[in-house]
Amino acid sequence: MDIEKKLSLITIAAIKDLYGQPLEKVVFEKTNLDYVGDFTLVVFSLLKISKKKPEETAVEIGNYLKEHLIEVVDFNVVKGFLNIVIADAWWLNYFISIEGKPFVNYEIPRNAPTVMIEYSSPNTNKPLHLGHVRNNLLGYSVSQILKATGNNVIKTNLINDRGIHICKSMLAWQKWGNGETPESTGIKGDHLVGKYYVEFDKQYKKEIENLVQQGNTKEYAEKQAPLIQEAQKLLFSWEANDAATMELWRRMNNWVYSGFESTYNMLGVNFDKVYYESNTYLLGKNIIQEGLAKGVLKSRADNSIFIDLTADGLDEKTLLRADGTSVYMTQDLGTAVQRAEEISFNKLIYTVANEQDYHFKVLFLILKKLGFEWSKGLFHLSYGMVELPEGKMKSREGTVVDADELMQEMIETAAKTSKELGKADGLSEQDAEKLYRTIGLGALKYFMLKVDPKKKMLFNPSESIDFNGNTAPFIQFNYVRIQALLRKANEAQIFNNIKPFEISLSLLPKEKNLIILLYAFNTMLNQAAAEYNPSIIANYIYDLAKEFSQYYHDVPILKEEQKELALFRLKLAKTIGIVIKESMQLLGIEVPERM
C-alpha cells in the first residue's frame, strides 16, 4: 500500500482512539527541506477535536503512528507541524520496485474518458506570434498530461479563416501586391499575407487622418474611409460566394496554411482534427431558432434575437442581428453542438487567453440554458497574456514577436551559448546543429510552461538559455550528465558480476530526498492533470534535476569503492534520467543524449 495512504488510515484511527471522534480524511504533505522528516501533518485543523494545544496534539499523534506503523521510525514537532520520518528500508523497497522502469504510460484504458482540447485557433491574416506560442505549448502539454493520466484525448484546432480581417489582407494584396507570391518572393506564406494586413492598417490610418483633417470626426472617418468600405464590400462578396473573391480567398489562405504547418512542425505541436470557421460560422442559426421556440431566447422589435442573462449577473447577449446575420457567439454555439454530435466527449477544453473569460462564461451558460447536458463538461483553460518589456503586442501595427523568428533566434542564441561553454565539443556538425535546436526550442518551451497558466508573463529570452538556473538547458544538461555516467560504466564494465544492492543499505539524506522526489512523480502528474497546469510538472523536474546536480557533486558514484553501493547510485541516477526525459516529453521538450 502507498505509504501516504497508510499514514492517513493510521492517523484517522489515532484521532478516533485518542479523541473519540471519527474523521473521514487526513492529508500529509511533503516535509519542507528545511526540517527533518519525509511527510508532514498540519494539526491546527484537528485542535477542535483534540481540545489540546498544537504541540501536544502533534506529539500524541506522532507517538501513536510510531507505535502502530513499523515504517515510522521517528518524528519531530515544530509548533503545529508533525514531521514524520519513514524508515530507509521502506524507501529502498520502493526504489527497487520502480528502478529502471517507465513512469509515464500513454496506453488508453477501456472506457477512458474522452477529452477534446482546442488550442492554437489562429487567424489567417497573419503568422503565429509569441501569444500563439504560449497557447500552442500550453494546449499541447495539457493534452500530453491528460493522455498520461488515462484519458482519450482529441487535439483540435479551429482556424479563423473568414471575416473582415482576412478581407483586409486580400484587399491590400490586390492593391499593392503586384501579383507576388511566396514562391516569387521567397517569403513564407503566412508572413506574406501578414505583410499586407499591416500594409492595410498603415494605409487605412492615412485615410482616417485625411478625413479628420477635412473636419470629420474620428468615428465618422473610421467608418467611411474608402479602404474599410472596400474591405466590407469584399466581405459581402465572400458571403455571396462570388467566384473571383472565393478564388483569391482560397489562394491566400492556402499560403497561410502552408506557413502554419511549418511553424507547428518546428514548435513540435500537432492536431487530430482541424475545424475551419468558414465551415462553422452559420451552424448556430438553427440552434438559436430552436432556443427561440423553447422560450429560452427572445426576439426584439427589430427582429434581432438575444438571451437575457442579467439574472445570472451577466448581460443581454445578442445572438442574431436584426438583418439575420450571425455574431461570433452564434458560431461558437454551433461548433460546440457539432462537436458534441460528432464525438461523445466527457470534457471539452478551450485554450484561450483570459481576455475572453467573459465570452466563455456566456457561451457555457447559454448552452446550459438550452438544455445540453454535455455543457457540464465544458471548460475554459484561461491563461495570462504574454507581454514584452515595452508592453502589449499589436498585430496590425507589426509590433508582434513573430513565432518563426523567435524560434530561430532561440536556436542561434543556444548555438552561441553552447559554443562558448564547449557543450558541442567533439560533436559532428550535424549533431551540433541538432543540439542547438534541442536546447533553443527546449529553453523557449520550458520558459513558457514553467509559469502558472493563470498568470500574466513577461517574455525574457535572455533568462531562458542559462545552464545554471530554472531552465530547460539546466535540466537537459543534468540528463546528459546521467547518460555520460551510464556510458562510462558500460564502457569500463566495472559493474559486471556485482551483486544487487542489499535492502539493508543505509541511505544518505540526499539519496533519500531523491527517492522521495521520484515517489512524488505520480502525485505531481495527477495534480497537473486535475488543474490543467504544466507548470507543476516543469517545476517538479527542476527540483529533481537540482537535487541530482547537488548529489552528483557531493557523492562519488563511479569512484565509490564499495561496488554494491556504486551500483545502487548508478541505478538511482538511471531512474532519475528516465523521469527527467519522460517529464520533459509531457512538456513537449526533447532532451539530448550528449553535450
Mind spelling out the 3-state secondary structure of 310-324?
HHHCCCEEEEECCCC
Q: Which homologous superfamily is 114-281+324-397 in?
A: HUPs (3.40.50.620)
- Average pLDDT over the chain reads 93
Q: Report the alpha-carbon distance of residue 381 to residue 316 in Å, rounded.
A: 24
Q: What's the pLDDT at 391?
A: 47
226-270, pLDDT tens digit by residue?
A: 999 999 999 999 989 999 999 999 999 999 999 999 999 999 999
Question: CATH 3.30.1360.70 residue ranges in the chain?
Answer: 3-86
pLDDT bucket at 399, cuts 50 / 70 / 90: low
Q: What's the pLDDT at 398?
A: 47
pLDDT bucket at 197, cuts 50 / 70 / 90: very high
Question: CATH 1.10.730.10 residue ranges in the chain?
Answer: 403-586
Q: What's the pLDDT at 353?
A: 95
Rounded to 5°, the CA angle 81-86-87 comes to 155
**pLDDT at 394 > cutoff 60:** no
320-349, pLDDT tens digit by residue?
A: 988 888 888 999 999 999 999 999 999 999
Question: CATH 3.40.50.620 residue ranges in the chain?
Answer: 114-281+324-397
Cell of 539: 517545476
**pLDDT at 389 > cutoff 70:** no
User: What is the average pLDDT across 189-214?
Assistant: 95
Q: Which of 46, 196, 129, 209 is nearest to 400 (CA)?
A: 129
Q: What's the pLDDT at 499?
A: 66
* Assigned architecture for domain 403-586: Orthogonal Bundle (1.10)
Name the fold adopted by 3-86. Answer: Gyrase A; domain 2 (3.30.1360)
Residue 507 CA to its chain's centroid (Å): 36
SS3 assignment, position 556: coil
Q: Report the alpha-carbon distance of residue 46 to residue 127 in Å, rounded.
A: 56
The helix (H) or strand (E) run that includes residue 59 is: helix 54-68
432-464, pLDDT tens digit by residue?
A: 999 999 999 999 999 999 999 999 988 777 788
**pLDDT at 502 > cutoff 80:** no
